Structure 1
Amino acid sequence: MVKRVGQKKRGKYSRKPKKIILIGTEGNNQTEKNYFTAFNQTQSEYKINVAKGNNTDPEGVIHDLLKTAKQEELDLKQGDILACFIDVDFKKGREKELRAAIKLARQNNVSLYLSNPCFEVWYLLHFRYSTKPYCSNDEAIRDLNSYISDYSKSKDVFELIVGN
């Protein structure tokens, strides 16, 4: 269609688009994905998306996050946010991986959140305040089972914890 002099432009947005929080998580981890995407139902300021990727090492997760942010053309200056959630776990060499990830996150304006030892500690904090140092993922999950008796990894429990 040829544009004529004085013709109005079509397709102008009258509403301001939501800011995006893009989240990076380890591998195909559904636990964090289920938790954070459920927040889209509870608030209207941000749209929460999860970055694509299968990396399980902390630096790889951040690289996946940055790649998705570029593909989706996020604009950090306009209020979009990059956040990465990594389990500390207790495995050999993890400390070195985490230091490198912290450095990479700082260089790229990524907010890095470490779950020590695993993300299930976040769920526990919905039920009680705790500074308990967990020695294993299994120990944290055992404590969580006292609040969510049929809990299993990757189970969507948002409806059970949202009021806490």
Structure 2
Amino acid sequence: MGTDDLLKKRKAGAQESHKRNTKNLSPKQVILIVYEGEKTEKNYFETLKKQLNLTNANIIIDPDSNPSPSSVVKYAKQKLKQNPNEYDAIYCVFDRDRHRDFNKALNMVKNTIIQTIVSDPCFEFWILLHFNKTKKIFGISGGSPCKEVQEEKAFRKNVKNYAKDYDFKEIITQHLETAINYAKEINSQNEAQRQTPYTQVVVLVEKLRELAGDKKG
């Protein structure tokens, strides 16, 4: 066999191997995360995406400008209707807080691929769990439950100069596993009985870690 023939044979073999490898690659999952209109959730999940190096999934983080649970779900359903075969999963992230349409929002996702990710009283409770495990009921004095979460000693100590555009990189890097463990423990007691506080953000976080192949965070 001549040199040219040998090179052609090797090239053909390499091309065939590439075709087989490409064929065996799993398509990227497309995950849509819809959240209330503040930047907090977006900043957190965008940072988490980078920390997990999520390259094998397409995570779309999309805000809804109307900060109410039913509006968030409505927006997600519109996205699903526009592209019914686009998404592998859709998550609606919103607060329990004192929204009057909360139960309506939960009913709106029935018989869909949409999953609600609720924090009671608010997303900031999930952030608090990165540092402190508490079953304290917030808002019983009549004030803002979410504001009371942010006024917790552990929150003020560890999340300094908190704002909607806060950089969560250090918190996620150092304390994510703590938040997951605390959330699971509290949820196992409170969520099933619809008692406050609890947060389902841990469900979404673990889904993203699973997609990234990250078992330890």
Query: Shorter-chain TM-score: what band?
Result: 0.7 to 0.9
1:11-160 counterparts in 2 under 5 A? 14=22, 15-27=25-37, 29-41=38-50, 42-44=52-54, 45-71=56-82, 74-75=85-86, 80-90=88-98, 94-95=99-100, 97-135=101-139, 136-143=145-152, 144-160=155-171
**Matches of 1:74 and 1:30 in 2, distance apart?**
28
Residue segments in structure 2 that go unaligned for 5+ positions in a row = 1-18, 140-144, 176-217
**Matches of 1:81 and 1:150 in 2, distance apart?**
34
TM-score relative to the length of structure 1: 0.75
Higher Cα Rg, which structure: 2
Contact (CA 8 Å) 1:51, 1:65: kept in 2 or not?
A: no
Shift of 1:35: 0.9
Instruction: Summarize the Cα distance change of 1:21–1:109 in structure 2 as closer, same or farther, 3 Å threshold.
Output: same
Contact (CA 8 Å) 2:48, 2:172: kept in 1 or not?
A: no
Residue segments in structure 1 that go unaligned for 5+ positions in a row = 1-11
**Matches of 2:32 and 2:156 in 1, distance apart?**
29
Q: Secondary structure at the match of 2:174?
A: coil
Q: Secondary structure at the match of 1:50?
A: strand
Shift of 1:75: 4.5
**Matches of 1:105 and 1:154 in 2, distance apart?**
29
Contact (CA 8 Å) 2:31, 2:60: kept in 1 or not?
A: yes
The CA RMSD over aligned residues, in Å, is 2.4
**Matches of 2:146 and 2:63 in 1, distance apart?**
25
Q: Secondary structure at the match of 1:89?
A: coil
Q: Secondary structure at the match of 2:109?
A: helix
Q: Secondary structure at the match of 1:107?
A: coil
1:163 aligns with 2:171: no
Instruction: Summarize the Cα distance change of 1:107–1:140 in structure 2 as closer, same or farther, 3 Å threshold.
Output: same
Instruction: Summarize the Cα distance change of 1:52–1:72 in structure 2 as closer, same or farther, 3 Å threshold.
Output: farther
The amino acid that maps onto 1:111 is Q
The amino acid that maps onto 1:128 is N
Contact (CA 8 Å) 2:130, 2:171: kept in 1 or not?
A: no
Contact (CA 8 Å) 1:26, 1:61: kept in 2 or not?
A: yes
**Matches of 1:40 and 1:72 in 2, distance apart?**
23
Shift of 1:40: 1.9
Q: Which has the higher helix share?
A: 2
**Matches of 1:99 and 1:63 in 2, distance apart?**
13
Identity %: 29
Aligned length: 145
**Matches of 2:72 and 2:60 in 1, distance apart?**
15
Q: Secondary structure at the match of 1:112?
A: strand
